[in-house]
Amino acid sequence: MGNIVVFGASGQLGHCLKKVAEEKGVADIHFLPEDEANILNVAAIKTVFEKYKPTYAINCAAYTAVDKAEDDVDLARSINKTGAENLAVACKEAGSVLVHVSTDFVFKGDNPNPRVEDDIAEPISVYGLTKLEGEQDITRILDAHFILRTSWLYSEFGNNFVKTMLKLGADRDLLKIIADQVGTPTYGIDLAACILDIIASGKTNYGLYHYSNEGVTSWYDFAKGIFDLSATNVKVLPIRTFEYPTRATRPTYSVMDKSKIKRTFDIEIPYWRDSLAICIQRLKQ
């Protein structure tokens, strides 16, 4: 595997990678604190590469506040685009491979067919646009890259939909959840395992890949699943998107086709509800 460095290690996916790396016995992986490895600080990145001489750099750093990004365009772009560009340049200079995490929000979401990697990306939010710009910069600068688009990420770490629902469900008798936005939840532990399996494979099939859990669901059904599996007694009502206006527009349908990643790396992807059950069990513990 060689040396691996993780940028954005304090976030949700960084924590998932740490847990999975421990379980898999991955030794030479370094989870770097923000003050040592700020992806906007070119000098700091250079120092990291000189110190650790990584074979792989994993970028988990991202601006993910979708609604806030509509007004915070410069910061979202600096992290999602410029940060990605900085790492691509550093990897190119050092001969390292970059593993970068992107999003289903690069798609417009108006086509009810699972998106493949070659489909045209037409983001409808600042978040989606800046993530796409980051992808484009990496692709332009660095051949040795794996870009993994994922969707609806949750885990026992950080802030996410599952933890929010459990918190709200404990306090309220009734919740109204959007039922006309469809996609696939992704358990961060599964994504982290996929990333480390790709690295362990040693394969050089570089490029763009889609990864989420298997299956298709709405936010409403996702919430229902959370409450069913956690035995939380709360009434959930389905609502339409227009009944819950948000600053950023979301894709209506953002299911991704995972054929390419499964075929290339011989990866088995768990069904979303099975992974959700595991996460809820861990949260209870």
Q: Which residues are catalytic?
A: 127
Strands (E), the chain: 4-7, 29-31, 56-59, 97-103, 145-150, 153-154, 174-178, 182-183, 186-187, 207-210, 217-218, 235-239
Give residue 281's Cα distance to chain centre: 22
Taking residue 35's Cβ as centre, other Cβ atoms within 10 Å add up to 8
Strand boundaries in 112-187, DSSP class E: 145-150, 153-154, 174-178, 182-183, 186-187
DSSP state letter for 107 = S
3-class DSSP state of 7: strand
210: tokens are: 């889609």
Which of 67, 79, 70, 57 has the alpha carbon at shortest distance from 3? Answer: 57
Note whether 96 and 56 are within 8 A (CB).
yes
Residue 40, SS3 per DSSP:
coil
The DSSP string of 172-223 is -SEEEEE-S-EE--EEHHHHHHHHHHHHHHT----EEEE---BS-EEHHHHH
Q: How far is CA 88 from CA 25, 96, 164, in A?
A: 27, 9, 34
